[in-house]
Amino acid sequence: MFDEPLVLITDDGRRHLLKDHLLKTAEMAADFAAVFGFRQWGRLAGLWHDLGKYSAAFQKKLRTAGGGDARCHSWEAVTVKYVVIHQ
């Protein structure tokens, strides 16, 4: 596996760490969900929304394709979302 999992490599080579992306998204989702009384669920959804990007396959694809926007979601993250939503 790679040193630090990434979510994005910009065209100019800047690397965005996956953990930073997940934490920021969790904060934003928690604030949004707080309006409905579900702050913790919003935080959890934000933390989970890109978990599949931790996979070695995704990290390899991102790094070997020369970067770019990492919009592909792996089946692991989609499966977790489905299970949580349909409980």
By mean pLDDT, which of 8-12, 19-23, 34-38, 68-72 is the weakest? 68-72
Entry pTM: 0.70
Type of residue at 52 = G
Q: Which pLDDT tens digit goes with each residue over 27-44?
A: 999 999 999 999 999 999
Q: Which pLDDT tens digit goes with each residue over 41-86?
A: 999 999 999 888 998 888 888 888 765 544 554 555 555 555 556 6
pLDDT for res 70 = 47
DSSP label at 1? -
CB 6 within 8 A of CB 17: yes
Could you give phi then psi for residue 65, rounded to 5 degrees? -85, 5
Task: Give the three-state DSSP class for 55.
Answer: coil
The full set of domain ranges for the chain reads 6-85
